[in-house]
Amino acid sequence: MFRDRKPHRCSRRQALAGGSAVVLSSLARPAFAGATEELPDLKELAAKKGVIFGTAMAQSELDDADLSGLIARQAGLLVSQSDHKLIRIAEHGPDEHNYERAERMMRFAESQKIAVRGHALIMSGETGVSPWMERVLPDQGAAPLEDYIRRTCKHFAGRLESWDVVNEAIERGPDLPTGYRESVFYRCLGPEFIRRAFEVSEEADPHSLKFYSDSFTFRNRSLEWHRVRRETMVALLEDLKAAGTPLDGLALHGHLSTDGFNIEEEAALIRDVGSIGLQVYISELDVNDTNFVGSVDERDAAVATVYKDYLDMALSFPHVTGVLTWGLSDRGSWIRRKWERSDASPQRPLPFADDLTAKPAFWAMVDAFENTSARPQWRGRG
C-alpha cells in the first residue's frame, strides 16, 4: 500500500532510470502524430473504473477548433478556469451580474454532452474578490455574499454537476495558529461564512455536488508544515460534517512539480478525508518542470513519472472519484505565465504538447486508469 511507503521524491535520477515503467511504457506507445482522434479517450477509460475525468478550459480555448475538439473527445467534465468566479460574474456591483462568459462555455459543454462544474463561489484569496464586495461586507455583513451565492446558484441550477463552494479558506502551518486565511470574508464574517456558503448554495441548487476546494502540496515546505496543514484541513471538514453542512467532497488541487512531493502526506490526507465519508476529486492536476534540467525527452519522462506515481497513489483509494487536469495542452498552461525556466524554453506540464500530440504524461494517465480497480459510482444529485 502507498501508505506504507517511505516519502517519495521524484528526482531526475529516478525519472531517467532505465527500469522506469513509465518511460518504457510511453516509448512503446504508437506516436499517433497529428491523429489525436485515434487516441484512447481518457474519459472512457476513467468511466470504466467509476471515475470521471475532465479538464479546466480557458475562454480563449473555445475559439481554438483543434484544441476544443480534443477536449470534447477526452473530457467528460469541464471547469472554467475563471468564468464562474465572483470577480467575473459580479465584477462591478451586486446588481450587475453578467453570466455571458460562463454561458459561452456552458453552451459548448452542453452541445458536446459534457458535464460542467463551477469553480468557485467564494475565492478566499484576495484576487478573487470584487472591490465592491470588500467595501460592503464590513457594514452589511453576510447579506451581500449570501445574495450573490443564491442568485448565481439559481441561475445555473440543474446544469452543473458540482460546485466548488469555498476555495482555499485555510492558511496554517506551525507558525500560523489561526487556521484560517485572513481573507475579507474571514475578517468580516468569521469562520461561519464557510458553513453558510454551503447552506445557501444547497438551498438555491440542491442538484449539484458541493465541494470544499484547497491546495496541499507546496514546494520547499517541510514535512511538519504539511502535517499541520493536513490536520487543519481535515478538522475543518470534520466540523462542517458534524454541523450537518451539505458537503459532498474535497476538491484537492494537484499542482505538482518535478522538484518532488511527499507521497505519504498526500495519501494520508486522502485517507483521512475518506474516513469522514467524503469523496475526493483531484481537481487541478499538472506538473511544473520549471527547475528540471534536461532535454525535452528527459523532462517529459520526469513529468510523466510524477503523474503516474501520484495517480497510482490517489486512485488506490476508492473514494477518489474524479481527476481533472488544469488544462489539457501545454499551449495554454498558467505555469508558463507565472514562471520562467533558466533555459527560456516553455514548460511542458500537461498531457498534450503545443501541437496537440500525446506526451508521456498522457500515457501515464492511460496506464493509471487502466490499472486502477473499479469502484462503485458515488451518487450524484437527482
Please check the confidence at residue 131 and state whether its pLDDT lies above 80.
yes
The count of other CB atoms within 10 Å of the CB of residue 114 is 21
Q: What's the rounded mean pLDDT across residues 312-328? A: 97
Please report whether residue 223 resides in a domain: yes
Q: What pLDDT, in 10s, does the model give residues 166-186?
A: 999 998 655 566 788 888 999
Enclosing domain of residue 264: 2-371
Please report whether residue 241 resides in a domain: yes
pTM across the whole model: 0.90
pLDDT > 90: percent of the chain? 74
Q: What is the residue-averaged pLDDT of the chain?
A: 88
- What is the number of structural domains in the chain? 1
Question: The CATH number of the domain where 361 resides is what?
Answer: 3.20.20.80
Banded model confidence at residue 130, pLDDT cuts 50, 70, 90: confident
In this predicted structure, what is the pLDDT of residue 126? 61
Lowest mean pLDDT among 88-97, 234-243, 305-314: 88-97
In this predicted structure, what is the pLDDT of residue 7? 30
Higher pLDDT, residue 324 or 264 = 324
In this predicted structure, what is the pLDDT of residue 125? 73
Q: What's the rounded mean pLDDT across residues 80-99? A: 92
Higher pLDDT, residue 14 or 234 = 234
In this predicted structure, what is the pLDDT of residue 34? 41
Please report whether residue 100 resides in a domain: yes
In this predicted structure, what is the pLDDT of residue 5? 27
Q: What pLDDT, in 10s, does the model give residues 50-76?
A: 999 999 999 999 999 999 999 999 999
In this predicted structure, what is the pLDDT of residue 12? 33
Banded model confidence at residue 342, pLDDT cuts 50, 70, 90: very high
